[in-house]
A and B are shown apart, each in its own frame.
Chain A
Amino acid sequence: MPRGGGWRPGARWAREGLPSRADVETQIAALPTHAQPPMRELGRRSEAASHPYKVVTAGHPTPKASPLDIKTHGVSPLALIGKAGRREEVVAACEGARALGIHPGMAATHARALVSDLDFRPAEPEADAALLDRLALFAVRRWSPIAAVTPSDGLWIDLAGCAHLHGGEERFCRRLIAFCRRAGFTARVAVADTAGAAHALARFGRSELIRVEPGATAAAISPLPIVALRLAPSAISAAKRFGFETVADLLPVARGPLARRLGLPAITRLDQALGAVAEPITPREDAEVPIVERRLLEPIGTAEAIEQVMGDLLNDLAKVLQARGLGARALRLTGLRVDGTEQVVGVGTSRPTREVSHLLRLLKLRIERIDPGMGLEQFWLVAPHTEPLDAIDLGAVLAGETLVRDPARLVDVIAGRIGGYAVYRLAPVESHVPERAVTRSDPVEMPGSWPAWKRPIRLFSRPEPLARVMALMPDQPPRRFEWRGKTYKIVAGDGPERVHGEWWRRDAEIWAVRDYYRVEDEAGGRYWVFRRGDGFEDETGDLSWWMHGVFG
């Protein structure tokens, strides 16, 4: 650098490794017109340079791309112009526009002067909000029941309890980003313990997908600038005056003095991000979900009164469902107590229905779980899960034909009493190994049937060993055996029924063989016993005898 005041920021001789003028000009000529850099970048001095020490504050810091390596994707650069007070300024600029020197917060006239042929459009905040709202509604329907818009540009999705439905948090986030890319948005996703931390990391984090492990919230947000904490502008300027740059600067400071300097709302924001103060997400309500409401003149507390309200609500809901041609698969009844807390009970049905008597019976099973406290004064009944339900053709019933009775109502009643997992049908599985031939299936589905081999009515979940077995090898049923300390003398037997191991499941079953016999003892008891191994090859089994079930 030459001494004597010759230094000037941006001087051409101060730059190093510049390509020659001819190179630059050929590269510029290759670019489309809108992507060509302004005159300033070409080194001409017919217009004012932006102040070298003026920090660009608006928006999050993005690395400024050189005009020569922008990928325009065939889209012309775009900037949105909105009104801030009485001044028109650039409120948003795409990557291409940023590369041309346009940045948010710049006066609109300045931007127009810099790049005259840029695509300037008026900003439409209402349309943006409407689009974001539609996205929130989509999230409520598709991803999580709790999703809400965060003002201006974000979406909160409560993943607790539903991440596994989408293949885990990581996978869900990747799908979310891919979804937004397909829809034409650039998405940044952060998953954290608190809504505040996720809000900060999504906007100021280093990468487009950040997952914070549970409990690591403080460490994750500490390097972020304090702007990330959603502070009021006055608090931000105050913090700058006191030299707080990042969240980490705020963490070790005593709360009392900090509150006096930045204001109490700033402390609340910090605590919300760290999880010390709860910040519930008010979900976007889905207007399409059928909901009915009853407000009571005075609080009720008895089971009979609650039942009456349930019946009234169901009558209202049935009308709503019928008008839309829907049937409820799930119902959620919320009662508002006098003390402001909510009592929530839910029921599910195995088929879509809007039959009031049936739904009322399911809800009545839940009355005992409602704690009325000092009384309930308001009720909502929501059908969060509905399916189309058209009118049913009753012609065959009216003609007097007997129909196969629909078990769905019975299944609902029992499932309401003991839980849905405890009601099932036993369905066949294509396997010859007895313990694998049966599986539990949906009670409303109609399963197939098994091959007609003789099978015991009680099958032991694990076979029990027999002792002192006398049997002729290789294919005779045992003559006597000891089981559970008692000796059984066999008078008749059927068999063997050979079952081979399923080699495609486990290596140990490649050669395994079981020979099953149905035997009867002197008292008429019938047993299902088997021997491991076929009696010739050693690797088919060790010739031990086992009891696997009893016939009647």
Chain B
Amino acid sequence: MSAVLNPSAPTIAHLRTIATPATDFRIMPFGVDAIDGRLGAGGLRAGALHEATAQSATMVDDAATTLFLASIAAREAAATGGPVLWASCRADLYAPALEQIGLSAAAVIHAQPRDDAALLAVIEDAVRDGTPSAIVAEASKVSMVATRRLQLVAAEADMPVLLLRRRRGLGENPLAEPSAAWTRWRIGTAPSERLEVAGVGRARWAVECARQRGGEGFSLIVEGSDETGRLAVPAGLGHRTAETVGTVRFAAA
């Protein structure tokens, strides 16, 4: 078949604008081109449910996931000026570390429900209330119906709900369960750059977007959050990112 180039034929860029729906929602950019460029709308949708889970069942990956979500919430809180609601059934979160990525003690209200069912009810109440600028929740057992409810109320209130899916066991993978979340992330730690002097440098995370609406999955290595919740791309990463793009889409459920 011969390719006839017709000037009136739609270009690929034109077709793409028709295929992708107009983004009439507010977005929360990461401020890092490497991530924002790969997210469908140029950033995370503000009024949506976003899920993140640790890459492995180790505590350090869990901590990296917590910090990743906290940094998103910190940027959103700084932008809108409301408090962040942190709902968790456990009490091992250490508030001074939250302050060091931009979530000061005055900006966080903690809620500690008894179980996951109460936690989901608390999130829904808080979203409907509309006072918080963002909600971070740690839960392990969240059903598909629950995520759909959260996504709907979050879209209605235009408030990000950041859900940390805890692993319940070694073999269990929260991302294998169906979910109505707008994006699903898998976060782990990565070896940081060795400094020339003795000491520990800025943390690095292996960030993997396993699924997003209106875009492909991707994975890359970023430098951990600074004191205002901003991530960064390590220098000299340009050669390594291309090979990982697109592959994880099939790896993720």
> What is the interface of chain A, defined by CB distance below 8 A to chain B?
402-407, 409-411, 413-414, 417-418, 422-428, 434, 437-438, 440, 443, 446-450, 452-461, 491-494, 518-520, 522-527, 549-552
Contact = CB atoms under 8 A, between A and B. Distances in A.
Nearest to B123: A414
A446 B126 CA distance: 19
B1 interface: no
Contact of B100 (A407, A409, A411, A454): A454
Given A449-B99, A452-B100, A417 B122 contact: yes
B189 A523 contact: yes
B106 A458 contact: no
A426 B108 contact: yes
Given A452-B100, A456-B94, A492-B199, A409 B113 contact: no
Contacts of B224: 552
A552 B105 contact: no
B66 interface: yes
Contacts of B114: 418, 422
B171 to A, nearest CB: 17
A551 B111 CA distance: 22
Nearest to B56: A523
Given A457-B63, A492-B199, A494-B200, A417 B95 contact: no
Interface in B130-145: 131-133
Given A418-B114, A457-B67, A552-B64, A425 B94 contact: no
Contact of B106 (A446, A459, A493): A446
Contacts of A494: 199-200
The secondary-structure label for the interface of chain A is mixed
Interface stretch (B15-23, B34-42, B81-89): B81-89
B189 A552 contact: yes
Contacts, number: 176
* B interface bracket (residues with beta carbon within 8 Å of A): 35 or more
Given A520-B200, A552-B205, A492 B195 contact: yes
Contact of A527 (B60, B62, B91, B194): B60
A410 B126 contact: yes
List the 6 shortest-distance A-B pairs measured between CB atoms, nearest first: A525-B60, A552-B67, A426-B95, A459-B94, A524-B189, A552-B64
A418 B111 contact: yes
Contacts of A457: 63, 66-67, 70, 93-94, 97-98
A446 B68 CA distance: 25
Nearest to A451: B96
A75 to B, nearest CB: 60
A443 B109 contact: yes
B186 to A, nearest CB: 14
Nearest to B60: A525
Contacts of B93: 426, 457-458
A8 to B, nearest CB: 85
A551 B85 CA distance: 21
B109 A411 contact: yes
B121 interface: yes
Contact of A425 (B60, B109, B125, B191): B109
